[in-house]
Amino acid sequence: MKVTMLVPSYRKAGIGDAVRCDAHPDMDYDALERSLITNNDADVTFVDFAALDACRDPRVQLVTKLLGRDAGLAALGFYHHSRGVDCIFSNSESISMPLSLMFRMSTAKRPGHVVICHRLSTGKKTLFFKTLKVHKEMDKLFVYSDIQRKHGVEVLGIPADKLTHIHFHADTDFYRPDNSRQVVANQISAAGLEWRDYPTLIGAAQRLNTLDFRLAAASPWSKHTNETERTELPANVGARRYEYGELRELYGSSAVVACPLYETDFQAGITSILEAMAMGCAVIATRTTGQTDVIEDGVTGLYVDPGDVDGWCRALERLTRDTALRESLGANARAWILNHASLALWVRQISSEIAKFGVASTSWQANCKHFAAGEKV
């Protein structure tokens, strides 16, 4: 089968060697591509921002200039990587929405279209899904939280059988427990930037001055400002960037991994929560509208209400004083990840949906006359 993957990022050079050397977690799109090639004998075309940068097609360049890079990636996939293709995988609704409109305007039969949707509950998504009904040009949509699935079905009118909630993932081979690692009983760590409520956690740190807080306040994906850079930090709080190996060491040496969040209706914080849970760490997170699907309070972690400094103080004091509870939460968390949110499981779920389009549509290949002859990237 032939598959096109549209991924809104740059593929990291040398990542395979780093994964094999245990210096970097496996990337989901790399793992998915390998699975499709190995298990489905797929011919996979990987299209990322590097391919977009190299494209000289004026149509693609115009779309990119007017509508942004994700829409440009959609145009690149449409004009150059959909002929004779069984399935296109769009790793963002910001790609799938414009791509679906391009399919709609074409007279050719489209290939299968499998989509990851990160957040459906914004005004722009309402226009595309509820008004323009772009989901008609999508065959399967995956979302990472139940609240987003509910919004998609009840508000946007996406058919329930098209929209599936799956859990995000952690590479459980990279993020794994290490019993030889020394846990520092008073060390609290936190990582990430998306919707992070570090001011509330710092407020708790000011009261709990015997605890050592280490913040890895960075993210390659977030558009949010790093509030720790413009805040005078207490003496017991440090913030800096950590490489992947360093971050794993930070998680593993911490008594508690914290994920303080502002209220939001999507799964902000999910990456660091799952990474820490995969390592068997005790996790405390803010219970937001969008972050309720992973942690079972008191079983696989603890929840605190948004903006609740007192609640953070109580939860942190409870876990730093109770080693048995920390170990129980961590063991349960690791087991939950292996059963529900491993990278391997995510790959199986996505690849099995893509594999359903294993025979190319002959009508799609026959009706590609709207493509200009000799188009090249």
Q: What is the pLDDT of residues 242-296, one digit of tens each?
A: 999 999 999 999 999 999 999 999 899 999 999 999 999 999 999 999 998 999 9
Which is more confidently placed, 59 or 223? 59
Residues 154 and 281 in one domain: no
Residues 259 and 209 in one domain: yes
Residues 129 and 188 in one domain: no
Q: What is residue 179's predicted lDDT score, i.e. its pLDDT? A: 85
User: Which CATH number is 316's domain given?
Assistant: 3.40.50.2000
Q: What is residue 230's predicted lDDT score, i.e. its pLDDT? A: 65
Residue type, 84: G
Residue 110 lies in a domain: yes
pLDDT of residue 60 exceeding 80, the answer is yes
Average pLDDT rounded to a whole number, residues 329-358:
97
- Domain span including residue 164: 2-169+342-366
pLDDT-derived band at 226, boundaries 50, 70, 90: low
pLDDT of residue 231 exceeding 80, the answer is no
The Cα-based distances of 27 to 5, 33, 68, 170 in angstroms read: 14, 10, 24, 10
Please list, in sequence order, all residues whose beta carbon lies within 8 angstroms of the beta carbon of residue 264, skipping any fewer than 6 positions away: 195, 288, 289, 290, 291
Residues 355 and 311 in one domain: no
Residues 56 and 189 in one domain: no
Residues 9 and 157 in one domain: yes
- The structure's pTM equals 0.90
Q: What is residue 224's predicted lDDT score, i.e. its pLDDT? A: 55
pLDDT of residue 116 exceeding 80, the answer is yes
User: Which CATH number is 347's domain given?
Assistant: 3.40.50
Residue 374 lies in a domain: no
Contact 58, 34 (CB under 8 A): no
Q: What angle do CA 332, 314, 237 make, to 5 degrees?
A: 95
Residues 221 and 235 in one domain: yes
Residues 106 and 116 in one domain: yes
Q: What is residue 368's predicted lDDT score, i.e. its pLDDT? A: 47
Q: What is residue 362's predicted lDDT score, i.e. its pLDDT? A: 39
Residues 219 and 273 in one domain: yes
Residues 296 and 329 in one domain: yes
pLDDT of residue 228 exceeding 80, the answer is no
> How many domains does the structure of the chain reveal?
2
Residue 371 lies in a domain: no
Sheet architecture: strand order including 163-165? 43-47, 2-6, 87-90, 112-117, 140-143, 163-165
Which is more confidently placed, 18 or 228? 18
Residues 136 and 263 in one domain: no
Residue 284 lies in a domain: yes
- Tell me the per-residue pLDDT of 137-181, one tens digit each, with 9 for 90 and over: 999 999 999 999 999 999 999 999 999 999 999 999 999 999 888
- Which residues are registered as beta bridge partners of 97? none
Residue 274 lies in a domain: yes
- Tell me the per-residue pLDDT of 121-149, one tens digit each, with 9 for 90 and over: 998 898 999 999 999 999 999 999 999 99
Residue 174 lies in a domain: no
pLDDT-derived band at 375, boundaries 50, 70, 90: very low
Residues 46 and 123 in one domain: yes
